[in-house]
Structure 1
Amino acid sequence: MAANDSSARVRSTAAAALLAALLTAAGFCVAGIIRGTYPFGSASRSTNDLGAQYVPVYAHLWDILHGQAQGDLFFNWQSGFGVGFWGDFGVVLGSPLSLLVALFPRDQIDLAVFVLTTLKLALAAAAMVVLLRKMRPGPAWLAAALGASYGMCGWAIDDAAYVPMWLDGLIALPMFCLVGEWSLQALTPGGVRRTNRLLSVLVIGLFWFSNFYTAYMATIAGGLVLLARVLTSDLSWFRRLRVLLRHAVSVVLGMALAAPLLIPVFTANSEATTSPSGFFTPLPLDKFLSRLMPLSEGVGASASLYVGTAALLLALTLPFNGSLKAITRVVWTATVVLLGASFLWSPTQMFWHGFDTPNGSQYREAFVLCGVLVIVAWLSSADRAPSPIALGGAAALLVALALISQGSPFLTSGSVGMLAAAGGLTIAMMLTLWLIRRLGNRGWSGLPVVAAVVLVIVVGVETTLSAVVMDEQRAKFLSASAPAWGPQQTEQRDKIVAASDWPEYRTDPGTRTTPNDPMLLGGQGGGLYSSLLPASLHETLSGLGFGWAGFGRASYALDNPVTDAIFSIGAAMHRDDDLTRVDAPPLVTVRPGPAPDVPFTSAYGLQERLLGAQVYDVPAYRGSLVAPGLLTLKARCPVRSTVFLNFPQVGGQARLAGGEWQALTASRRPRTTTSSKMVELGKTPASGEVLIDLQVVAAVRGAITPRGALGCLDTAKLATAVSGLRATGATHVEAGGRSISATLKPGSTGVAVIAAPALPGWLCVRDGGKPEKPTSFGGLLSVSLPGPTERVSCEYLPPGLGIGLAAGGGALLITFALVLAAWSRRRPSASAEEPPTQGAN
């Protein structure tokens, strides 16, 4: 009989989880249909970094899985002229669900990301249902409604729907709480005898591997939920401590299991371009609480706390619910209040974010409060519908919330009306269920079903409409960063693939659609947008005249024939989708000696140092103010030279007199968040006198220098320099996923320079000799050749990977040892034990 009851509970839980997943997926899709966003309409859903950063990374993963990428999971030859990829994989793609992109056509990569997003939302809802039913028996339909409320919570739609890796944390929270339940029930007298030790560690490890950022927040929240469960249990204090210790061991081992990814990510982060921490200013309480309301939106400026009116109302019944023990009401009420308060105090807010106040959204941990509110709603209503007193108290708190929030700018015109309608229906249905239970089910067998259906519909309709409003309001402030893949991108990619001949030379797609066009469209260029963009690479590229944004974490392509020669770019895509070919040096060249260790006074000087030849004339110039914000620069250049201008800390536009304007893009906090790239203005006139119009929109003090900004390129000298590098460079180059090797001309000595950034993680050998760390040739990878050398080979491994593998392997061994120890203790008495029974709640 017990086995039949257990099987029935499993089936009903599975059905409820499926219903919650379907409600969530349907709500998310219907909201997109109403809004007309991709894939249901022409409007792009690539808010903020979704189109500029995440979709291209998924496209690169597709290429890796299909064997079409230049690189592998450890290294990316396509972006930033060659950078590590394992860190970006860990930040964006760690979830096993990411592998599903391989099932979609490449030109449907936006659809793949949308489907993954929907699937993660649905899985979060299903996971919450499983947790709720594990914590306490209760109606399957109510668990499904609350699961959907969690899957469509404000944080999921407003903050994470366009940051898909954060949604792994939404799934992790109920799963980590489930791990806590296993620890609790394993030590509850008369509870389940299966310990789930191995599964607990694997669950923790999986989600820390998937996305450590939100897993960190979910780990804290899971610990707080377990603490509340322990404090409200009937266990002895000794057993309570054992529960917490067991859970802590599972968490530590799980985190260590993910060390092969975590340690390289943290190492890469320590070497990445830094961005200043944000400044946290707590919201006033009325504005903070207003985000609990339906149809509200805060565009990252507030905590997205919305969980649906039904779930919120049921959670608010808990302090007034006389059917629950006083200790349960006190502990869970305190947990909710203290969690919310921790979002408004700077020290605890920093703790939630790993002691680094983020730029952008300041309340990225809001999903933990959403999850706890749903749990509290279940604990207050699972055994029986709340009494009229409890519902009245909750209704009073809802009214107070509406009154307090009236002046909040985060509310829309329908917020109060939706709160009243959904709240009223929820109260009516709960009162109906309470009356039926109180008076008996004589002749009213259909009413509970009607009440359940109505409540599920209320949750579905309200959360869907709230998702519509959130997306609509957010679009007014955060425009789409990129369009979905279309015929233009297909044509661009076809041209790039047709022109490519890697590793004979690079084919640069530019960065016109996104900074990550090399991953999105193919080819190999300098474009890269990543929070792990190496600081040394940023310094090298900015010194050469490349533009950047995002505090230096987004590097843009540079149209310049000298840097093309330095980085072996033999084909490049231009603004009009025209792709041109030029002769380029091989990817590996041989220089007579190391780069001169002398300061360079301009970007042109650094270009010449890495090229190994003088090709620029860098004249002084005079400036005059024509009108406010409009200057004229005068200089003399050699006739027939090409004029370049490099004002990295100026935003606006520039042109040769009478020519076409070229944009200077450092318009948003120059030198801090943006920097303009070097621009080509045109040919020097026959008179040799160069007149430049400079229109300044933004600039920092001292940005317009009297020398070093203007360069006049002698293309004949450049052609000679390129011919020299081709004559002495490698005769054959081979590139693997994370390796490169070159066959040199017989008798080559000096320095072999590889047109890739000098980054930690490389080891090189000469003629099959002993591996050694390479050197830096002005920021490029280089290998000294003290004697005649015919072959140079280099291989890359992510820094920290070895330590991570050792830590992960050790954690796995310890976990198996604990499992075997538990199994050996149970084995002698296993035959005498009763079948597992329902655990403590």
Structure 2
Amino acid sequence: MVSEDSAEGGTVRRRSALLPAAVAAVVVAAVFAASGIIRGTFPFGSLSRSTNDLGTQYIPFFAHLWDVLHGRAQGDLLFNWQSAFGVGFLADVGVDLGSPLSLLVGLFPRDQIDLAVYVVTTLKLSLAAAAMAAVLLSMRPGPRWVAAILGVSYGACGWALDDGSYVPMWLDGLIALPMFFLVAEWSLRRTNRLLSVLVVAVFWLSNFYTAYMATIAGGIYLLARLLSSDLSWSLRLRSVVRHGVSFALGMALVAPVLLPIVTTNRAATPSPSGIFHASAIDLFLSRLLPLSEGVGRTASLYVGTIALLLALTMPFNKFVPWREKAVWVVTIVAVGWSFRWAPTQEFWHAFDTPNGSQYREAFVLCGLLVAVAWISVAHKLPGPIALLGGAALLALIAVLSEGSPLLTEHWLIVLIASGALTVVAFGIIWTLRRIPGTRRTKWPVAAAFGVLLAVVAVETTWTAVITDVQRSKVLSTSAAPWDDKQTARYDALRDAGGWPAYRTEPGTSITPNDPILLGGQGAGQYSSLLPHSVNQMMTELGFGWSGYGRAAHTLDNPATDAIFSVGARMRLIGDGAPEIGRATVPPLVTVRRRLDAAVPLDTNAPNAYAAQERLLGSKVYEVPEYKGTRFAGGDVKLVAKCAPGSSAYLFMPRVGGRARLAEGRWWELSSTRRPGINTSSAMVGLGTVPANGIVLIEVNFGDAPQGIPPRNAIGCLSPAALRKAVKSLRATGATDVKASGHSLHATLPADSKGWAVIGVPKISGWTCRVAGGKPQTPRNFGGLMAVPLTGAADRVDCTFVPPGLRRGLAIGAAAAVATLGIVLIGAVRRRRRTAS
């Protein structure tokens, strides 16, 4: 039953699986495209498909990958000079861009990056469908036309349409699941040792998050196959050990990426864990049915009426052995129950309950349901009793789901029509197979295949449209596709660029990831791996953020521009046209005789003005005392006094609303969406202090009245003092700065003494040498890197190596040696057996 297949048999099996896999892939691509055409979404219409993070995070990262592939990025695969003033990049590659399919974006023009991501997304859905169709035939011989239909059902399952379609890296898990089923089959048959390890490595590299879930599912699948087999317990144990070794070695092979991800994640800005609340049973079951949508509130379990009905025939299919029935029924029920119990739900998410969609593992149950449907059919086509029994269970699910608000109009009509056609088609084939003269007649099978394939295509397309409609009402689109305005901004930034002599700040007006989407080198970055130390530094300096601190925003302030050497800044005027402003700023590396002491921590009233002055090394702000008056509705007026002609700033972090100076223009503080938790406002420049020196600031909190800090909210910047500070830093700063992929080289004035302060965030991984001396870890100076210049120095060289990379390379090398050793030992043993 599970003996190793001959080479000839393997060839026949591969050939037999090719056509069903191809049909499944083409139909799923057609379904995904048709749903976009009907909805009028990109690239078939004017509606953006960049729901939630697709436009603000993933597409910009793909754009940066394009720049890296074409040699246009500031940085490489290890470091990103463009975002958050300079952060590591390897972990982001592993989380968002690890799939080999991501490299396909390099084949498209850069201004077609949205199309490139769409094509990659479609290709991943198609590959998942093809993989499932092929793996089903590898699991057990059966009707190829059913394998094709089930492949479509999996590739266009509810999870793929709802959760995965706008989070393209999760779709690697959709492909990984059937491939890990295949690895389990190889473990059973004691074959393909090297290929097993490589398959695991590829998908853990592609996306470790969903690969983790698929790995658990692969283990569950293997246990079910073993318990339902006739193998001895010793052979079962050997299969489990073999399977575990394959996964251990595969994961170890990609340790050079996995370890930096783990290390970077530990240092990342934390976000609050979600609180899991299991959905009601009627809501949970309703997600198995067509035309249902829950936008992350419930598990997306839809696999199509045909696949679900065939899976429900198993308990009644007399051709399936009782033990196999019992094992698979218990497996499906147990996995479904694990989605509803908090401890097991945490286990599916690596013990980190997400604060977004809480059923990200739903594709696992979709895959197992499709596998059960195949097992029922592959033994022998279910007869009338099995079909009617499965239909009765399907009707029971429909009755229990009745009244669920997640079921949209016409769901029952679609369910009845699809179910009836399935029962009739299989019933006719079953009947014809029992009439002597029609047993070998092929046209009924071909007709049934055509009808059922049309049913699954229409039903999944309709469900995809409903899913997108409902999702657009809950999760608004976040960014429009690339257009002529984006091109104008991109060109303006390239023309203004002078890196590394100075930074060109693109702002964060389109997305928080504008520096990698549009170009330049700025404060903006939206990543779950944004270092917490960077977030703290920028918050202390007056920058704002969103996404629980994982999305850093720009700060249009001449003092911070001087600190970070921002010599050019893009601002959008009119209808979004770019305007480049320029400023004289210090070089990226400056020299200080001494480093000022840290600003005393005041949690009730953080002093961003003092923090900026510390990094500038000069006093440039006047921070006056002020009085506040609260009015009805929570609005506040602040009154202070500053030098006439200075620039008035307001810093009230973790609040929402707007503010203005006297009767001037209103300036937005930040979004009012959960201020202090989800968002934090940046320092706002309100205008010039009038001749009487009175600073009168009105603050409107909108619908969320909040308190104001007792001090340090208002600061008045002296332009003259800032010019003097910049002149001083330029006089003693680096005469030449060069930056390569992940290193920085600065030439200092001869006999420089004191400290070299580098306008780059201090994160783990940096080592520096002074005048070619011993490597040393730079010090932390207000969040920036500071290197002591022992004696006199004329050069500083710094290099970044992602934490965990060296250890990961060692583990990966050891895993490669171990894998080759196991393969060679196996080859020698087979040769000896053949010779004997």
TM-score normalised by length of structure 1: 0.96
Q: Which of 715, 736, 747 is matched with 1:732 structurally?
A: 736
- Offset of residue 697 of structure 1: 2.5
Correspondence for 1:605: 610
Counting only pairs closer than 5 Å after superposition, residues 653-672 of structure 1 correspond to structure 2 as 653-672=658-677
- Offset of residue 704 of structure 1: 0.1
Query: C-alpha distance in 2, partners of 1:233/1:825?
Result: 26
Correspondence for 2:656: 651
Q: Which of 778, 784, 801 is matched with 1:780 structurally?
A: 784
Q: Which of 543, 549, 554 is matched with 2:551 structurally?
A: 554
Matched, 1:468 2:469: no
Query: C-alpha distance in 1, partners of 2:503/2:583?
Result: 11
Correspondence for 1:568: 565
Counting only pairs closer than 5 Å after superposition, residues 615-694 of structure 1 correspond to structure 2 as 615-694=620-699
Correspondence for 1:509: 506
* Deviation digits for residues 486-531 of structure 1 (CA, Å, limit 9, x no counterpart): 1111000000000001000000000001000000000000000010
Matched, 1:104 2:108: yes
- Offset of residue 828 of structure 1: 2.5
- Offset of residue 829 of structure 1: 3.3
Alpha-carbon distance change, 810 to 3 in structure 1, aligned in 2, over 3 angstroms: closer
Q: Which of 6, 18, 40 is matched with 1:36 structurally?
A: 40
Correspondence for 1:129: 133
Counting only pairs closer than 5 Å after superposition, residues 41-440 of structure 1 correspond to structure 2 as 41-186=45-190, 195-440=191-436
Query: C-alpha distance in 1, partners of 2:443/2:267?
Result: 64
- Offset of residue 8 of structure 1: 4.3
- Offset of residue 140 of structure 1: 1.4
Query: C-alpha distance in 1, partners of 2:89/2:705?
Result: 34
Query: C-alpha distance in 1, partners of 2:260/2:438?
Result: 65
- Offset of residue 593 of structure 1: 1.1
Amino acid at match of 2:200: I
SS in 2 for 1:438: coil
SS in 1 for 2:757: strand
SS in 2 for 1:628: helix
Amino acid at match of 1:293: L
* Deviation digits for residues 17-63 of structure 1 (CA, Å, limit 9, x no counterpart): 11100011110011000000000111000011000000000000000
Matched, 1:544 2:541: yes
Matched, 1:769 2:773: yes
Q: Between Structure 1 and Structure 2, how many residues are aligned?
A: 823
- Offset of residue 3 of structure 1: 7.5
Structure 1 portions without partners, runs of 5+: 187-194, 833-841
- Offset of residue 808 of structure 1: 0.9
- Offset of residue 666 of structure 1: 4.5
SS in 2 for 1:518: helix
Alpha-carbon distance change, 17 to 740 in structure 1, aligned in 2, over 3 angstroms: same
Query: C-alpha distance in 2, partners of 1:767/1:653?
Result: 50
SS in 1 for 2:438: coil
SS in 2 for 1:787: strand
Matched, 1:458 2:430: no
- Offset of residue 699 of structure 1: 5.5
CA RMSD of aligned residues (A): 1.4
Correspondence for 1:793: 797
The answer to whether the Cα contact below 8 Å between 1:650 and 1:697 also exists between their aligned partners in 2 is: no
- Offset of residue 5 of structure 1: 6.5
Matched, 1:695 2:673: no
Query: C-alpha distance in 2, partners of 1:492/1:332?
Result: 57
SS in 2 for 1:247: helix
Query: C-alpha distance in 1, partners of 2:153/2:833?
Result: 44
Alpha-carbon distance change, 507 to 458 in structure 1, aligned in 2, over 3 angstroms: same
Query: C-alpha distance in 1, partners of 2:352/2:630?
Result: 44
* Deviation digits for residues 627-648 of structure 1 (CA, Å, limit 9, x no counterpart): 3232221111100000111111
Correspondence for 1:836: none
The answer to whether the Cα contact below 8 Å between 1:648 and 1:666 also exists between their aligned partners in 2 is: no
Amino acid at match of 2:468: D
The answer to whether the Cα contact below 8 Å between 2:598 and 2:614 also exists between their aligned partners in 1 is: no
Percent identity between the two aligned chains: 58
SS in 1 for 2:591: strand
Query: C-alpha distance in 2, partners of 1:421/1:713?
Result: 71
Correspondence for 2:584: 583
Query: C-alpha distance in 1, partners of 2:329/2:497?
Result: 62
- Offset of residue 575 of structure 1: 3.1
- Offset of residue 414 of structure 1: 1.5
* Deviation digits for residues 166-206 of structure 1 (CA, Å, limit 9, x no counterpart): 000000000011001011112xxxxxxxx211110111111
Query: C-alpha distance in 1, partners of 2:406/2:510?
Result: 32
Amino acid at match of 1:728: T
Matched, 1:488 2:485: yes
Query: C-alpha distance in 1, partners of 2:294/2:599?
Result: 51
Alpha-carbon distance change, 700 to 85 in structure 1, aligned in 2, over 3 angstroms: farther
Correspondence for 1:477: 474
The answer to whether the Cα contact below 8 Å between 1:385 and 1:431 also exists between their aligned partners in 2 is: no
The answer to whether the Cα contact below 8 Å between 2:634 and 2:700 also exists between their aligned partners in 1 is: yes
The answer to whether the Cα contact below 8 Å between 1:384 and 1:434 also exists between their aligned partners in 2 is: no
Amino acid at match of 2:490: R
The answer to whether the Cα contact below 8 Å between 1:47 and 1:481 also exists between their aligned partners in 2 is: yes
The answer to whether the Cα contact below 8 Å between 2:273 and 2:354 also exists between their aligned partners in 1 is: yes
Amino acid at match of 2:391: A
Correspondence for 1:189: none
Query: C-alpha distance in 1, partners of 2:11/2:818?
Result: 33
Correspondence for 2:518: 521
Residue range with higher mean Cα deviation, 136-145 or 150-159: 136-145
Amino acid at match of 1:271: A
Amino acid at match of 1:384: K
Query: C-alpha distance in 2, partners of 1:10/1:606?
Result: 65
The answer to whether the Cα contact below 8 Å between 1:654 and 1:663 also exists between their aligned partners in 2 is: yes
The answer to whether the Cα contact below 8 Å between 1:509 and 1:572 also exists between their aligned partners in 2 is: yes
Structure 2 portions without partners, runs of 5+: none
The answer to whether the Cα contact below 8 Å between 1:654 and 1:664 also exists between their aligned partners in 2 is: yes
Amino acid at match of 1:181: E
